[in-house]
């Protein structure tokens, strides 16, 4: 029976950061704009909408904040928003000035379903450089009351408020205002430790050269430290330009990643809508043990939780970018930096292993395929770093029944271009002898036929390593390890596997990147041909001798899909039904839902069935956020049942 989806939204919450066009001290105009943007957000399915700091009055009202005409009208406008919210779905978070206890407080109001649920005053009041807020506003610490009267209703107020959605499981919202984020101890740091997964920041941050980059960094880093989603909405061009200019910068970040940002300096304002993944955040918090430990680093605080009305998630379709290649950054500069770092990690790991062992010779099986090519390139870099002659890298081509002339030729040309030692050992006769020894008919080209070749090649490499006092360099990549697409005690085994943390899609990119480096200019033609050669184990002979007959992706499916599945399954512990939805969004127009489901079922089945191989995999460096070493990130029983995960896709 198919498992019931208790969380059909898969943890997604649709949020919006609104930057409406405003006018200084024109509350009627501002009210209309706020409600117009609230309706737009409603139409787009937003569940939470954050408006800028003091958006009802404008931030730059100056000494007009001491005019009670303005303050009284702000309260009236707030009540109108509350009344209008009865006909709107989203939770609205709006900034306004509140007069209370003989002070004025820069405040955020949390509103939905016709109710003002709570008020959060600003904690840190800037009074430096171009900021004069201390002239008008008191800090939250100056507030004594826990409730104030708005209209005819008592409303909770304080920085100790968290807002919990009644109808959206696990959605808890914290609120801070502008400068609060700039302080060394932002209120949101305490809010997340006490359960908030979503932080709203109502801001008024003026534009200076380079300041937008700094804001991005602050928002992204706070979302990373707090393992939270962070909505930031700053006021726009309608503010006074007497001394400064405001650009209307809005952003949404999640766990260190910027999901989206607004158009700055937009005269008609902007509305940024995206989906955040609360389920991802919960998972990261659960397994990041230091996150929970942080609660004990500060004095205990008493928190009040206010239940608020937030509508259920309206999607799909998803309103967020889902990267189809999660292991390869889309930004060119970041991709180049990441590539250099990955190869440097591989190189350093191998160099350290060689140095520590006192061994200065290396043995590698060179097939002419992507994985062994990358392993050889890393080996060359490691030997160069250790000032060892490249001739002490011994590459072996071991042609068998399915070896093509193309891959064999590429292996030979690559070894020559890299200046390493090369030897060819034909495994055909040795495998035929093993068939005779075990009584296997060579005409039966089954798994025995294939694995005898794989294990015989590994035996040769191990024996050669003894003979040469060398280490055997592993070549199998992370994708093959996940799928179990390797032969136990065959290509599964080595002394050190530099590719253990590198998925196939990244292997391909790394080889291409190395091919473009000047130091490997002599190898560029052969590397380009390796990149254009179909991925194949080359264990079965085809109808045309010397050609690539077996094509891996026709047998087990596209690696770009499997790497996508692996990332979301291992990095985020996403259930298969959620991975299916994400993949349909990421690969829209390239793979239909049925194709994705077919290969996802195969991925899940093979992943569970091949854990026993991963449990005894050799050492190798972790290079990214996903690794499957039993001594590192991944500990899974070899006899775990797959039924529940397959039912999720039924």
Check: CB of residue 498 under 8 Å from CB of residue 477. Answer: no
387-412 burial: b if 16+ Cβ within 10 Å, else e? ebeeebbbbbbbbbbbbbebbbebbb
Between CA 341 and CA 620 the distance in angstroms is 16
The size of the chain, in residues, is 650
Is 129 known to be catalytic?
no
**CB count, 10 Å around CB of 430?**
18
Sheet of strand 91-100, all strands in order from the earlier edge strand to the far edge: 115-121, 103-112, 91-100, 48-50, 12-19, 270-277
Catalytic option among 53, 450, 480, 584: 53
In sequence order, what are the beta bridge partners of 19? 270
**CB count, 10 Å around CB of 456?**
20
288-305 burial: b if 16+ Cβ within 10 Å, else e? eeebeeeeeeeeeeebee
Check: CB of residue 229 under 8 Å from CB of residue 199. Answer: yes
What value, to the nearest 5°, has the Cα angle with vertex 56 and ends 50 and 57?
A: 135
Nearest CA among 408, 456, 455 for reference residue 430: 456
Is 286 known to be catalytic?
no
User: Reduced to 3 states, what is the DSSP secondary structure of residue 537?
Assistant: coil
Check: CB of residue 558 under 8 Å from CB of residue 487. Answer: no
127-141 burial: b if 16+ Cβ within 10 Å, else e? eeeeeebeebbbbbe
Is 178 known to be catalytic?
yes
Contacts of 446 (CB under 8 A, 6+ apart): none
Tokens read off for 35: 């409600």
User: Reduced to 3 states, what is the DSSP secondary structure of residue 21?
Assistant: coil
Catalytic option among 178, 228, 235, 431: 178
Q: Which residues are catalytic?
A: 53, 122, 178
């Amino acid at each position: 029976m198919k498992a019931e989806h208790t969380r059909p939204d898969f943890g997604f919450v649709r949020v919006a950061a609104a930057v409406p066009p405003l006018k200084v001290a024109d509350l009627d105009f501002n009210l209309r704009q706020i409600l117009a943007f609230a309706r737009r957000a409603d139409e787009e399915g937003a569940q939470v909408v954050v408006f800028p700091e003091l958006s009802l009055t404008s931030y730059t009202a100056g000494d007009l904040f001491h005019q009670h005409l303005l303050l009284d009208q702000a309260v009236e406008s707030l009540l109108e928003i509350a009344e209008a919210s009865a006909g709107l779905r989203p939770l609205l978070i709006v900034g306004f000035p509140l007069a209370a206890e003989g002070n004025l407080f820069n405040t955020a109001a949390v509103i939905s379903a016709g109710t003002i649920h709570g008020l959060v005053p600003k904690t840190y009041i800037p009074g430096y450089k171009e900021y004069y807020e201390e002239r008008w506003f008191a800090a939250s610490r100056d507030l004594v009351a826990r409730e104030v009267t708005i209209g005819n209703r008592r409303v909770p107020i304080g920085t100790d408020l968290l807002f919990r959605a009644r109808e959206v499981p696990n959605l808890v919202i914290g609120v801070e205002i502008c400068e609060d984020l700039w302080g060394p101890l932002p209120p949101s740091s305490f809010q997340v430790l006490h359960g908030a997964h979503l932080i709203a920041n109502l801001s008024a941050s003026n534009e200076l050269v380079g300041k937008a980059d700094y804001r991005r960094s602050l928002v992204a880093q706070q979302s990373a430290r707090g393992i939270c989603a962070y909505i930031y909405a700053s006021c726009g061009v309608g503010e006074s330009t007497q001394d400064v200019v405001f650009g209307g910068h809005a952003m949404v970040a999640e766990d260190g990643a910027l999901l989206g940002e607004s158009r700055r300096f937009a005269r008609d304002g902007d509305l940024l809508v995206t989906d955040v993944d609360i389920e991802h955040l919960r998972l990261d918090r659960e397994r990041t043990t230091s996150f929970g430990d942080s609660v004990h680093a500060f004095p205990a605080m008493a928190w009040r939780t206010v239940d608020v009305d937030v509508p259920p998630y309206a999607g799909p379709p998803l309103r967020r970018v889902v990267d189809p290649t999660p292991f390869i950054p889309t930004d060119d500069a970041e991709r180049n930096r990441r590539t250099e770092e990955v190869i440097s990690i591989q190189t350093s790991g191998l160099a350290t292993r060689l140095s520590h062992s006192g061994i200065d010779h290396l043995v590698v099986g060179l097939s002419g395929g992507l994985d062994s090519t990358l392993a050889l390139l890393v080996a060359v870099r490691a030997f160069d770093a250790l000032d060892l002659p490249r001739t002490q890298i011994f590459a072996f081509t071991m042609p068998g029944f399915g070896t093509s002339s193309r891959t064999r030729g590429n292996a030979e040309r690559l070894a020559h271009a890299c200046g390493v030692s090369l030897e060819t050992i034909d495994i055909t006769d040795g495998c035929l002898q093993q068939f005779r020894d075990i009584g296997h008919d060579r005409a039966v080209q089954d798994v025995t036929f294939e694995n005898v070749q794989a294990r015989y090649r590994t035996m040769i490499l191990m024996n050669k390593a003894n003979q040469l006092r060398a280490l055997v360099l592993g070549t199998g990549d992370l994708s093959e390890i996940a799928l179990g697409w390797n032969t136990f005690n065959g290509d599964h085994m080595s002394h050190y596997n530099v590719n253990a943390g590198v998925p196939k899609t990244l292997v391909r990119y790394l080889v291409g990147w190395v091919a473009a480096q000047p130091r490997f200019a002599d190898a560029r033609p052969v590397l380009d041909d390796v990149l254009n050669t179909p991925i194949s184990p080359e264990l079965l002979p085809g109808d045309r001798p010397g050609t690539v007959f077996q094509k891996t992706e026709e047998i087990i499916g596209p690696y770009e899909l499997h790497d996508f599945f692996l990332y979301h399954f291992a990095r985020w512990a996403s259930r298969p039904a959620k991975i299916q939805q994400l993949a349909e969004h990421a690969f829209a127009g390239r793979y239909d839902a049925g194709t994705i489901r077919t290969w996802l079922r195969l991925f899940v089945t093979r992943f569970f069935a091949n854990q026993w191989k991963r449990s005894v995999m050799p050492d190798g460096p972790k290079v990214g956020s996903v690794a499957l070493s039993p001594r590192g990130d991944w500990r899974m029983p070899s006899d775990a049942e797959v039924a529940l995960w397959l039912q999720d896709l039924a």
